[in-house]
Structure 1
């Protein structure tokens, strides 16, 4: 599975290669607008069942569907409105493309700064695979 056709050529080649080779489910979102996804790793696709063309350009809320996620959503909203907060970690219920609910023990989102201009330009999300799936031979 390749990520090259679904990402902006503006992203550094080393970053695209890192995502391509990562065994961890990674998602990269724009820090502008609705924080749409700009890049996902193949491990993200294996974990969620969504191909890059299904999610790039969309907000990752699509993974939550109708799950309540009251506390996780509040923590994520707080993080998104506080430029000085470097990251947030929270358990969250997401759904795979096949409609299976997957409680992710830790969703970690961090801010990435443009070192040249000192401005936030991307957000990185790391999704941990549930323990049961790892023990069953998952990622």
Structure 2
């Protein structure tokens, strides 16, 4: 029988297995247009992952759109692409730029206060206190 200690010896924190981050929301058919919701849900499910709000290239690549993703231990997880990659690759490939970072606790507070998954540009960190 596998103990929790044995599991921790071979599996890094933040990962369900070697390719699956703990923040991944499984069994979703439609991901497009839901990045703020899915990133928030992933942050609630795996509080070790940091929630990031920013922007990235849109479908045409011609304009920037708001986007949310998760980061942990040098990796970025995009809930729309359902892929994890090194943060540097993520920023380069998606043309992403981060504007705000939230711990799980702060993100939950902002979600409850605002009544939505983000972005929370109109709310300040002072409201968290």
TM-score clears 0.5:
no
TM-score with structure 1 setting the length:
0.22
For normalisation by structure 2, the TM-score amounts to 0.23
The structure whose residues are more often strand, as a share, is: 1
